[in-house]
Chain A
Amino acid sequence: MKDFEYHSPATLEEACQLLKKYDGQAKVLAGGTDLIPGLYRREIVPEQVINIKGIPSLNFIANEESKGLVLGSLVTFNEIISSPIIEEHYPILKEVAEKIASHQVRNLATIGGNLCNAAPSADSAPILIALDSTVALIEPGGKERTLPLEKFFIGPGETALAPGEILIQVHIPLLKPRTGVSYLKQTSRQALEIAVVGVAALVRLEKKTEKCSLVRLVIGACASTPLRIPAAEKILVGKKIGSQDIEAAAKAASEAVKPITDVRASKLYRKEMVRVQCKRSLEEAISRAKSSPETGME
């Protein structure tokens, strides 16, 4: 590891001042589970490292009636797993967190770090996009803005964050009635693996008719960013979905993705697995929508 200077601000204001002082050249440190291996392998050689973990205002889980769920960027995956609020209202987030890394890594790894690192395979991204999440960012000058998560990813390791900007919160809207969600992660072994293909699906069905009123299908690890598949969604919306529609949507998804060949899988294999996993994920989301409660905010 190369030497660097280390700062540990206790407040968001202090962090912003430091980021301003170093004019976008400093690296933010959260859980460190992506950054420290990067430093170790000398893939990243920052002069300044700013540890934001000492900032209490970035570490909370809140369920707000109007906004839905708000997660501070420092919430770790194990905190998601053990949160009673999440277990009750957003069990899918617990399900996804359990598919990530190992117990030790989940004690460190934060949701903000997973998104800002912007690996195409990041497991929290597809499901959060399917849930229509937004992220709140703060620039070194202290100005805040929000952005749909779908617009946050630009390429591998590249996000809409301006130099020195910090991700402070993730907002997840309330889950409406008769809505089902699913995330399937395909890996070459059962644990401690990066996704070969990740598929998140959200399906909403109309009352009585059970016609599909909304679908979001998002695929991870098969393009330079997590990818939403409008072509597949279009096939399903407005229909009482049958197995042929699911097949057609899965095929459309398989045609829309642009995977690469790497150590984990070939391009062709990934395309075929997108078809298979989309089918399974849509089926799971539909069956969950059918059994989801009728009551709740419309």
Chain B
Amino acid sequence: MMKHRLNLRVNKQDFEVFVKPKTTLVDLLRDELGLTGTNKGCGTGECGACTVLMNGNAVNSCLVLAVEADGAEITTIEGLASEGRLDPLQQAFVDEGAIQCGFCTPGMILVAKDFLEKNPQLREEDYKTAISGNLCRCTGYVKIVKAIKKVAEGE
């Protein structure tokens, strides 16, 4: 099968890669670019572990073909901290103890990042809605919600 050349920007760095059409974005990130902070749980959009920002929108990278990301700007969990400082969401997850094994954490943080940006006014139940597409197998949801709320409320 013919490989396609694609150019994409991941965490502010430009890449040129050759991929088969069937390669999903999550596999490109993990297996070709070595960015293993993006996790793959289900591979079918149900668990949220593979969430990344694509042109600013949180998407399941297992539901996107790598070739679809030609010309796109991708942010993974590795690209969230800037100048050695954690993103406020990352810091809140650490401070609130919202991380157990950490498998779901990158997805939780990236979906929350997009959700908070798109929904400036939040009701109590919205914090749960934000992460309704993310499963935590350690079931630490209470602390995760608390961490997101802390950032939303600017504490």
Give the B-binding residues of A (Cβ under 8 A). 1-6, 8, 29, 31-33, 36-37, 39-41, 49, 51, 53, 78, 82, 101-105, 107-108, 190-192
The verdict on B100 contacting chain A, using a C-beta distance below 8 Å, is no
Tell me whether A104 and B1 are in contact (CB under 8 A). Answer: no
- Interface 9-mer from B9-17, B30-38, B41-49, B143-151: B41-49
Closest to A31 in B: B63
The verdict on B137 contacting chain A, using a C-beta distance below 8 Å, is no
The verdict on B80 contacting chain A, using a C-beta distance below 8 Å, is no
Tell me whether A5 and B118 are in contact (CB under 8 A). Answer: no
Tell me whether B45 and A6 are in contact (CB under 8 A). Answer: no
**Which of chain B's residues have a CB closer than 8 A to the CB of A103?**
58, 111, 114-115, 129-130, 132-133
Q: A105 is contacted by which of B60, B68, B129 (Cβ under 8 Å)?
A: B60
Closest to A76 in B: B57
A96 to B103, CA, bound (A): 31
**Which of chain B's residues have a CB closer than 8 A to the CB of A107?**
57-59, 114
The verdict on B4 contacting chain A, using a C-beta distance below 8 Å, is yes
The verdict on B20 contacting chain A, using a C-beta distance below 8 Å, is yes
**Nearest-Cβ distance from residue B31 to partner chain A, whole angstroms:** 14
A31 to B57, CA, bound (A): 13
Known: A191-B129, A191-B132. A108 touches B22 (CB 8 A): no
Give the A-binding residues of B (Cβ under 8 A). 1-2, 4, 20-22, 24, 43-46, 48, 51, 57-60, 62-65, 67-68, 70, 111, 114-115, 118, 128-130, 132-134
Tell me whether A32 and B64 are in contact (CB under 8 A). Answer: yes
**Which of chain A's residues have a CB closer than 8 A to the CB of B43?**
37, 40
Tell me whether B111 and A32 are in contact (CB under 8 A). Answer: no
**Which of chain B's residues have a CB closer than 8 A to the CB of A31?**
63
Tell me whether B21 and A192 are in contact (CB under 8 A). Answer: no
Closest to A51 in B: B68
**Nearest-Cβ distance from residue B110 to partner chain A, whole angstroms:** 9
Closest 6 CB pairs of A and B: A102-B133, A191-B132, A6-B21, A37-B44, A3-B1, A107-B57
Known: A104-B111, A191-B132. A6 touches B4 (CB 8 A): yes
Known: A33-B45, A78-B118, A103-B58. A108 touches B63 (CB 8 A): yes
**Which of chain A's residues have a CB closer than 8 A to the CB of B133?**
101-105, 191-192
Q: A33 is contacted by which of B63, B115, B118 (Cβ under 8 Å)?
A: B63
A37 to B43, CA, bound (A): 8
A111 to B109, CA, bound (A): 27
